[in-house]
Structure 1
Amino acid sequence: MGKTNQGRFFEDYKVGDVLIHAVPRTVGQGERALYHALYPARHALYSSDAFAQTCGLPAAPLDDLIAFHTVFGKTVPDVSLNAVANLGYAEGRWLAPVWPGDTLTAQSEVIGVKQNSNGKTGVVWVRTTGRNQNGDAVLEYVRWVMVRKGNLDAPAPDTSVPDLTKVVSAENLVVPQGLTFANYDFALAGEAHRLRDYDIGEQINHVDGVTVEEAEHMMATRLWQNTAKVHFDTSARPDGTRLIYGGHVISMARALSFNGLANAQMVVGLNAGAHANPCLAGDTIRAWSEVLDKADTSAPGVGAIRLRLVATKGEADFSLRGDDGKYRPEVLLDLDYWALMPV
């Protein structure tokens, strides 16, 4: 047992710890093909080099969530191998496109710890940065997870909860160098709706649904080299089920949102997110969105739209919380993000 990794437990984390995550991952067209096979992903900027070139980019970057999942997967053995649940996200920004052939690495800093009242678990906050082979940061975000204690007698650490911004300000969003929507082809993109066509407060039912399959979820989770036990080992959960990786739900909902938001091309900011209820194989994921804000950018023809993306199991009826203020049981995901869209 001395050479194997049992993963960190709550008492193993200290504020200020820097975690260097293994293993570097070179990503390419294979990841794109698998991603588009696993999800109904078809935003034009990530599907076509020619379309991306008309938008000022040298080629189609890899999907923004490919970058997210790859970086996230690096962190699992050090952050969430013994997690009970992934609780939330904040302060996420996509800082540079990821191109086929790039090699991604990840590093996290522990920025907060708080033991739960039951003495068996605690919450750990980490700030993660993903970099390419040149050392350039391509992605950063904060997430917090509930982690089991390995030694229940270990003393509780001093509580330290980070003060996180609720929304990434529009002026801090990074628009990829050269991006322009001045010559945007709405017909090829799939819809005619531009930023000015959306109203703050507007809600959009994305109509379609996809039933989650056990095999596809495990293939996707392995694709990102995510080793969390709850996604593979039926003995890791009391009910004997495999928990569907929350990122699988994010990608499915984002892909479903194409119907109504086909021109929300690039995800550039992650303001907040909660995996409200567990998703299990056999659940049918549907999605709806709400427009929360709109903003200008300095790039020609490029605006930013802030969206709430909600994934549900069952019909997408725009219901989020019950009378008690808690998420309704059919709500799987509540995600607040910024995307780039032609004005």
Structure 2
Amino acid sequence: MSGKTNQGHFFEDYHVGLKLNHATPRTVHDGDAAMYQALYGSRFAMQSSWDFASPQSSLRNPVMDDLLVFHTVFGKTVPDVSLNAVANLGYAECRFLSSVESGDTIQAYSEVIGVKENSNGKTGIVWVRTKGFANVDRPVLEYVRWVMVKKRDAASPTPETVVPDLAKVVAPDALSVPAGLDWTRYDYTAAGEPHRLRDYTVGEVIDHVDGVTLTDAEHMMATRLWQNTAKVHFDVTAREGGKRLIYGGHIMSMARALSFNGLANAQLIAAINGGAHANPAFAGDTVRAWSEVLDTTPTNAPGVGAIRLRLVATKGGPAGALRGEDGKYLPDVLLDLDYWALMPV
């Protein structure tokens, strides 16, 4: 049998300091933006209308949705990081560093920053810091994620445990604001809602009302769009139960699109402080979403502030319900995402 095919890395292949240069660079363009909107129905004005975005920034071309960029970078990492993953466990220290425009070419690099074998001896957790660049050398995204990965051989030696110390929140002064962004003449009518930063209070919970029932065809199309090759999203024999696992990023984008109803002016994602895919999702599940306001802060850009939000995707649970008395996520919770978004003040 030829040894030319890629079987992916297993837990014992990783060590702290290992650097991974990911294939394949990908040029994003207007077609990607249109496909993203077709899949999720996102209506945020900065990504929907060049007439809205260009007068308020120094962008030269239509801007790609922030999560489209995240998924594209994430997809580059899958063959090297999570092809043999059991689960994608979480995110931290994610910053969107500059806008990606139509015509930019995205590539990604990662470094292993932590490893820890699980007590069952069959799997381990790997932490990687990933950086995405546009056009070779312009940083656009940086984040840490950790995954549970299968061991090739349960008898292989246990590596020294290294668990990285990660910030719980991206500091407000570390948020990047797109060059030239000026919302002093922001068009609230075109954006879809009148609510600005000062209208939101810490602790406020917003029920985004709508729901979307997941289908296999849409989530597989989306996952292919990011060139994410994880077996569990396509192959019904790749996991117990005979169901394709919905890519967690699909839930992120679906929930973000649903959050437009109540947060239409949370235009751009500046950072992801943390995130957990609390429970698996499958075709036939109906996704709903709610948000909690965690913090607000000004920025140095004219008319631009930042709002910290907890975005929760559920299979129908009531807004505001997240964990049970035991402290564990309720079984209907799919996503718990803590992020900063830019919003007019």
Cα distance in 2 for residues equivalent to 1:294 and 1:120: 43
For residues 315 and 119 of structure 1, the distance between their equivalents in structure 2, rounded to whole angstroms, comes to: 36
Aligned with residue 249 of structure 1, among 232, 248, 251 = 251
Identify the residue that residue 5 of structure 1 maps to in structure 2: 6
C-alpha distance in structure 2 between counterparts of 1:214 and 1:258, whole Å: 24
Q: Which amino acid aligns with 2:94?
A: G
Count of aligned pairs between the two proteins = 343
TM-score normalised by structure 2 residue count: 0.98
Q: Secondary structure at the match of 2:54?
A: helix
CA contact (8 A) 1:121 1:147 kept: yes
What is aligned with 2:342? 340
2:52 is aligned with 1:44: no
Q: Which moved more, 1:307-316 or 1:72-81?
A: 307-316
Question: How far 1:219 sits from its partner (Å)?
Answer: 0.3
Partner of 2:261: 259
Distance 1:32 1:53 in 2: 16
Map of 2:322 onto structure 1: 320
Match of 1:81 in 2: 83
User: 1:53 and 1:224 mapped to 2: Cα distance?
Assistant: 26
Aligned to 2:161: 159
- Kindly report which structure 2 residues correspond to 1:1-343, keeping only aligned pairs within 5 A, or say none: 1-58=2-59, 59-343=61-345
Task: Deviation per CA, 1:212-243: give whole Å up to 9, x if none.
Answer: 00100000000000000100111111111100
Q: 2:23 corresponds to which letter in structure 1?
A: A
Cα deviation, 1:55-80, whole Å, max 9, x if unaligned, reads 12334311001100000000000000
**Counterpart-to-counterpart distance in 2, 1:254 and 1:94:** 16
Percent of residue pairs bearing the same amino acid type: 68
Q: What's the offset of the Cα at 1:134?
A: 4.0
C-alpha distance in 1 between matches for 2:193 and 2:136: 37
Give the CA deviation at 1:315: 3.7
Residue 43 of structure 1 aligns with an amino acid whose one-letter code is F
Question: Is the Cα contact below 8 Å between 1:54 and 1:183 reproduced in 2?
Answer: no
Q: Contact 2:57/2:178 (CA < 8 Å) preserved in 1?
A: no
**SS state of the match for residue 105, structure 1?**
strand
Alpha-carbon contact 1:312-1:332 (below 8 Å) kept: yes
Q: Does structure 2 conserve the Cα–Cα contact (< 8 Å) formed by 1:54 and 1:184?
A: no
- Superposition misfits of 4+ residues, deviation over 4 angstroms: none
Q: TM-score, normalised to structure 1's length?
A: 0.99
Contact 1:167 1:271 in 2 (8 A): yes
SS of 2:178's partner is: coil
8 Å Cα contact 1:287/1:316 also seen in 2: no
Structure 1: gaps of 5 or more residues: none
C-alpha offsets along residues 149-175 of structure 1, whole Å, 9 cap, x if unaligned?
011111110000000000000000000
